[in-house]
């Protein structure tokens, strides 16, 4: 329990200490039970790429996620996982992303205008409100503000409960609030499945209701409930974390903020009134400097710091044997700051991802914020799109800063974010 508390209070310091003392393979407490800690790019590769099917994601994640996010994609293995993932793929292809982008743009523009007008802003809760509203709209197809507010509140409770240490549904406690929130969300979705199976909408919910495999088989109503709740969880906090870190890094490094603003102004010129309403995916593709900062933010403050699996057979890594049945946790957070792969690893240096330097290519799993292998993040293109869609109007219309002495106290787990919500000051460009 002591290592549990240390893990949660500062995952990075915990990982660095464990690695320095015990090397890349050790044993300890991880999220409600014993685990083998694996801290190397080689271990990331062995566990995540896992071509031979020697590790189970389902049995790795179930102790954290099974009660509140049961049967989501990360809680499925092998053929079962492949079938469920394949049926979902069209909802994450380019044509679908283009429709989501169009739907989210007005909401982003309105939120960014409001942030700036406020002058002083706690950025983290503000972006969280926006990503939740986008998720309710783009994933669930819900446009009513009252419903969006209720869904957002339920989601916040659900995510908070998934890492609650006390996992007994005692009235009024975090875990009980999560259980109740899940029941309400499930009811909300269940009531609408029949109607969505017969409708034409372009939201993710409707697409999952209509997806069929070659034999015409569809997701059951309950599978749709499980997948949607899981995807909303996987999507909003991670992207919130990435955008928050980018906003902090750009406040701390104004030369990068200026550079990205010039890029946004170039892309934005075509979007002026009388031209087009919002950016297209092709416009966002032009934001290559923003992409560098996105990658560097994910390296330094990886939203999901550790990834869980369970060994299904005996395996060996770095000369140590891991018996079948052992839970393992890989720690990309440690690898992301390892001098073995990165020059000046603690320094914010987005150019390290440029074509010339390409430090992330030194090992296929030196940079793995989205995981890898069969469970590699399904929403990584969605995430990049949303990040750029938010940064574009923010950079074009506002400059922001933090006080020179400001040092954020980062909570790295369960999702990386500054504990104080990241207060920033905005002024018009
Ligand atoms: C910066 C943002 C994001 C980060 C850092 C991130 C990170 C990850 C990671 C590390 C995994 C793999 C977990 C494992 O191997 O056990 C994962 C899986 C997943 N992510 Fe993301 N994610 C992000 C955004 C999103 C978004 C926006 C969506 C949906 C729109 C999404 C949907 C999923 C799904 C469905 C899975 C499960 C895939 C499977 O098991 O086959 N993620 N994500």
Nearest CA to ligand 1 atom 36: 377
Structure tokens at 59: 């049995």
State how far the Cα of 265 lies from the Cα of 261, in Å rounded to an integer: 6
**CA of 118 relative to ligand 1 center, distance in Å:** 32
**Is the CB–ligand 1 distance for residue 60 below 6 Å?**
no
- Could you tell me if 294 and 39 are in contact, meaning their C-beta atoms sit under 8 angstroms apart? no
Nearest CA to ligand 1 atom 43: 377
Tell me which residue of 166, 162, 169, 100 sits closest to 135, measured CA to CA. 100
**Is the CB–ligand 1 distance for residue 304 below 6 Å?**
yes
What number does the ligand 1 atom closest to the CA of 61 have? 16
**Is the CB–ligand 1 distance for residue 378 below 6 Å?**
yes
**CA of 379 relative to ligand 1 center, distance in Å:** 6
**CA of 270 relative to ligand 1 center, distance in Å:** 32
**Is the CB–ligand 1 distance for residue 238 below 6 Å?**
yes
> Candidates 234, 297, 414: which one to mutate for ligand 1, based on the most atoms within 8 Å of Cβ?
234
The stretch 200-229 carries a mean pLDDT of 96
Segment 234-252, tens digit of pLDDT: 998 899 999 999 999 999 9
pLDDT classification of 2: cutoffs 50, 70, 90: very low
pLDDT classification of 217: cutoffs 50, 70, 90: very high
First to last CA, the chain: 49
**Is the CB–ligand 1 distance for residue 250 below 6 Å?**
no
**CA of 134 relative to ligand 1 center, distance in Å:** 17
DSSP letters, 306-343, are: -EEEEESS-EEETTEEE-TT-EEEE-HHHHTT-TTTSS
**CA of 319 relative to ligand 1 center, distance in Å:** 31
The stretch 66-80 carries a mean pLDDT of 94
**Is the CB–ligand 1 distance for residue 336 below 6 Å?**
no
Q: Is the pTM of this model over 0.85?
A: yes
**Is the CB–ligand 1 distance for residue 57 below 6 Å?**
yes
**Is the CB–ligand 1 distance for residue 379 below 6 Å?**
yes
**Is the CB–ligand 1 distance for residue 383 below 6 Å?**
yes
> Candidates 379, 387, 415: which one to mutate for ligand 1, based on the most atoms within 8 Å of Cβ?
379
Q: What is the dihedral of CA 126, 131, 135, 136, to 10 degrees?
A: 10
State how far the Cα of 246 lies from the Cα of 64, in Å rounded to an integer: 28
What structural domains and CATH numbers belong to the chain? Answer: 2-400+409-428 (1.10.630.10)
Segment 296-326, tens digit of pLDDT: 999 999 999 999 999 999 999 999 999 999 9
The stretch 221-244 carries a mean pLDDT of 94
Residue 1 pLDDT > 50, yes or no? Answer: no
Structure tokens at 107: 């909401």
**Is the CB–ligand 1 distance for residue 375 below 6 Å?**
yes
- Give the model's pLDDT for residue 166: 57
- Give the model's pLDDT for residue 20: 95
Segment 251-281, tens digit of pLDDT: 999 999 999 999 999 998 766 665 567 899 9
- Give the model's pLDDT for residue 118: 84
Alpha helices by DSSP H, 198-345: 204-210, 221-252, 254-268, 281-285, 288-300, 332-335
**Is the CB–ligand 1 distance for residue 234 below 6 Å?**
yes
Q: Which residue has the tokens 């709740």?
A: 229
């Amino acid at each position: 329990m002591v290592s549990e508390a240390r893990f949660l209070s500062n995952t990075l310091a915990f990982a660095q200490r464990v690695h320095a003392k015990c090397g890349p393979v050790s044993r300890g407490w991880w999220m409600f039970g014993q685990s083998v800690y694996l801290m190397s790019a080689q271990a990331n590769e062995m566990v995540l790429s896992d071509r031979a099917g020697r590790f189970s994601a389902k049995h790795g994640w179930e102790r954290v996620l099974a009660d509140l996010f049961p049967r989501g994609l990360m809680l499925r293995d092998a053929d079962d996982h492949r079938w469920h993932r394949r049926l979902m793929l069209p909802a994450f292809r380019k044509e679908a992303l283009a429709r989501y982008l169009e739907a989210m743009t007005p909401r982003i523009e309105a939120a960014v205008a409001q942030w700036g007008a406020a002058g002083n802003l706690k950025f983290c809760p503000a972006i969280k409100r926006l990503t939740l509203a986008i998720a309710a709209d783009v994933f669930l197809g819900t446009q009513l503000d009252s419903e969006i507010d209720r869904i957002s509140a339920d989601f916040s409770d659900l995510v908070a409960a998934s890492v609650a240490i006390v996992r007994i549904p005692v009235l009024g406690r975090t875990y009980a609030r999560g259980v109740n929130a899940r029941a309400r969300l499930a009811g909300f979705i269940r009531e609408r499945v029949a109607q969505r199976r017969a409708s034409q909408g372009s939201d993710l919910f409707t697409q999952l209701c209509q997806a069929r495999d070659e034999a015409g088989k569809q997701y059951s109503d309950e599978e749709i409930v499980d997948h949607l709740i899981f995807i909303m969880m996987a999507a909003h906090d991670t992207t919130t974390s990435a955008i928050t870190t980018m906003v902090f890094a750009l406040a701390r490094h104004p030369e990068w903020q200026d550079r990205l603003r010039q890029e946004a102004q170039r892309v934005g010129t075509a979007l002026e009134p009388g031209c087009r309403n919002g950016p297209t995916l092709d416009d966002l593709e032009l934001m290559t400097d923003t992409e560098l900062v996105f990658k560097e933010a994910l390296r330094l403050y990886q939203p999901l710091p550790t990834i869980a699996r369970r060994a299904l057979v005996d395996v060996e890594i770095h000369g140590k044997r891991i018996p079948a049945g052992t839970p393992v946790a890989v720690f990309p957070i440690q690898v992301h700051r390892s001098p073995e792969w990165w020059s000046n690893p603690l320094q914010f240096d987005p150019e390290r991802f440029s074509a010339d330097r390409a430090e992330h290519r030194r090992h296929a799993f030196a940079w793995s914020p989205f995981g890898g292998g069969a469970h590699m993040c399904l929403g990584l293109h969605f995430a990049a799109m949303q990040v750029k869609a938010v940064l574009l109007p923010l950079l074009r219309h506002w400059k922001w800063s933090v006080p020179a002495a400001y040092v954020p106290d980062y909570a790295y787990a369960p999702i990386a974010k500054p504990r104080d919500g990241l207060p920033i000051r905005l002024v018009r460009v």
